[in-house]
Every structure is written in structure tokens, then in C-alpha cells.
Amino acid sequence: MLELDKISKVYKTGTFGGKELLAVNNVSFDVKDGEVISLIGESGSGKSTIGKMILRLISITSGTIRLNGVDIATLKGGALKDYYRNVQGVFQDPFSSYNPVFKADRIFRIIREEFFPEIKIGEWNKKIDSSLRAVGLNPDEVLNKFPHQLSGGQLQRFLIARALLLDVQFLVADEIISMLDASTRIDVLNLLAELKSRGLSILFITHDLSLGYYISERAMILYRGGVVEMGSTEQVYYHPLHPYTKMLIVSVPRLNKKWEEVEVKLKAKHSKLPTGCVYYERCLFADKDKDCAKRPPLIEAESGHFVACSHYMEVNKGV
């Protein structure tokens, strides 16, 4: 199981790195074995940063990430390689994950060279066959081809098959569906759900709430680097407590219901507070005299359902 304990990330921005941007602010959660957690937020909310920190692609500014009790920041050499045997990521744009000069199945060869040099080639090819079949591809159709000869959905499934070859326990799926067509989207989603039933844990990063609901048990809503709401998907989707979550849910375009006449305001409603609630500017419920000037802590409003808002009781009643 993977634990994130109070992790933060500060990026240096500006021409000479003079400014600082707090991309992830004090986020803690854990992912149990065989669990799918959705990380939902708009662009700039820090959701991809969290995924990249788990994959050790970027450093953590403060806090620790532990896999089965071991702090991943301390891993080096062979231990780090072992970590990558267990934890892998698949990203948004399948086309840019491949080198267009080489054939797409080169990614499998590299896995063998790096991780399994002792396995004989015949046996390895059998393994490739079975993992390709596991992701719903026909090996004869997809092997020995260049990336441009395969569709986005096929390439995306290739990357998942690559992760399967390593027998991973934990997969970071960062917006893996958003570049795919509606008709192939659902196949990749179903595949993830199937893998989950085999014991794989998935961190499903998305901005699409309906996809998050489809496959995950727990959902986390991120706003400007902080968790504003966390709970089981039913709780978060049917009884949202945070004003931001509420706004997100009414904004989702749906097929059975026209958008309600709730206006989404893009302009700030209030001026910014230097400290205090991150959502204050856009919040419909905010009131400076109340506790919004202080940063609201993440409190457990009902069993397993956490919210960071000083007056979630009102939010729950109103609108």
C-alpha cells in the first residue's frame, strides 16, 4: 500500500527562478491494495504533480511517500529499480510516449534488457503475447509496427501492457483517457477496472468527473494544490460538501439533463485573501467575517468523508 504523508511541492518560477509557486500543499492520503482512487481537479490544481512525485520524476519539497512502509525518497540503485518494478505510470498523450523512429514494441525489449535479462527470448515473447491479450489487443495485428501505424487507443493499451509485464502493484494513470475517442475510451476504462480486480491499485488522475465515478471507490477533489474534499465516490458525488465540488458537479455536461441555470462565474467574486481559504475568491458562500480568513483544516464531516470548508453545513443545506 502507498501512503502520502503531508507532501508539498514548491516550483521555482519567473525568469530567474525568483518566484515560488506552491503547487501541492500538504496533501496526505493512502491507496490500499486493489483500490482505485480518483484525483480530480482543474488544470493547475497539482494533480499531475502528485502523480509525478509518486513516480519520482520530480523531487518532493517536504513530506514523505512510503510504499509498504519504505520511504521512496531514500531509494537508490537496485532498490529504486525494484520500486519501478512495482510502480509505473501511463500518461495523457500516447503519441509522445513513443520514439517515432523506432517500432512501438521496442518498449517491451527495453523492459527485458533492463529488468529481466535472464528470461529467454522465446519465453519473453510468450509473456508479451499474454500481456497484450490481457489488454485486449491481438499480438499479430499490433506487433512489429511503428507508432504512427497504431491508433491512440492501441498505443495507450500498449503502455498498460508494458506495465503489466513488470507485474506492477501500483499504476499512476494520468489523464489516460482524455485523448481517446468516445468509442475506445470505455474499452481502456473497462481494462483498468479488470486489472483492479486482479489486485492492482490505481491512482486515476482526471478532470472528468463521470470517468472518475465509473471506476473508482474513493474520490479526492483538489483545488490549488490542496485537498478540498475526499470521501467515497458516492458521498462526494451525491452529497458534495465543498462549494467547489458542488460547482464542478453542476458543470459536468450530461446527457439526461440540461445544464441547470446555475451560472458559473469566471470572474472573482471576492478579492483574494493572502492567507485563508484557497477557494475564497470564487466561493458563493464565503464571508470574510466567518472563518474563511483562516485556512480551513480538512475535517471528517461524516464517516470517511472529509471536507476543508468552515461552513460546509450551510453548503449542504443550500442550493
Partner 1 sequence: MSLQVENLKVYYQTLRGDVKALDGATFTIEDGEIMGLAGESGCGKSTLSNSLILLKPPMRFVGGRVELDNEELPIWDMEKMNNFRFKKISTIPQYAMNAMNPIRKIGKMVSEILKSKKVDFKSKLPELKRRLDLVELSHDVLNMYPLELSGGMKQRMVMVLSTLMNPSLLMADEVTSALDVSTQKAVAKMLVGFRDREFVKNLMVISHDISILYQIADNIMIMYAGKLAEKAPTSVIINSPRHPYTKLLISSLPDIGVKYSQKKLTGIPGKPPLLLDPPTGCRFRERCPVAFQKCLNEEPPFMEIKKGHFIACWKEFEKNA
Residues that bind partner 1 (CB under 8 A): 42-43, 151-152, 181-187, 189-190, 193, 207-211, 213-215, 233, 237, 247-249, 251-256, 258-259, 264-267
Task: Give yes or no for a contact between 201 and 36, defined as CB atoms under 8 angstroms apart.
Answer: yes
Residue closer to partner 1 by CB (options 7, 209) is 209
Shortest distance, position 189 Cβ to partner 1, whole Å: 7
CB of 170 to partner 1, least distance (A): 19
Amino acid type, 72: I
Nearer to partner 1, 110 or 252 (CB): 252
Least distance in Å: CB of 19 to partner 1? 14
The CA-atom distances, in angstroms, between 195 and each of 34, 36, 190, 209 are 9, 10, 9, 21
Of residues 164 and 180, the one with the C-beta less far from partner 1:
180
CA distance 31 to 67: 10
3-state secondary structure of 166: coil
As beta bridge partners, residue 22 has: 10
Closer residue to partner 1, CB minimum distance, 103 or 207: 207
Cell numbers for 95, please give them: 503519441
Q: How far is the CB of 85 from partner 1 (least distance, A)?
A: 27
Question: Where does the chain have alpha helices with state H?
Answer: 47-54, 77-86, 106-115, 121-134, 139-142, 152-165, 182-197, 209-215, 233-238, 243-251, 312-317
**Looking at beta carbons only, is 185 or 242 nearer to partner 1?**
185
Nearest distance from C-beta of residue 84 to partner 1, angstroms: 28
Rounded to the nearest whole angstrom, what is the least distance from the CB of residue 269 to partner 1 in the complex?
12
What is the Cα–Cα distance from 119 to 127, expressed in whole angstroms? 10
Choose between 6 and 265: whose C-beta lies nearer to partner 1.
265
Phi, psi torsion values for 113, nearest 5 degrees: -60, -40
Pairing label, strands 19-31, 2-13: antiparallel
Q: Return the number of the residue (79 or 268) whose C-beta is nearest partner 1.
A: 268
The secondary structure of residue 94, as a DSSP letter, is G
Are residues 164 and 108 in contact, defined by beta-carbon separation less than 8 angstroms?
Answer: no
What minimum distance in Å lies between the beta carbon of 292 and partner 1? 20
Q: Which of 186, 184, 244 is nearest to 40 (CA)?
A: 244
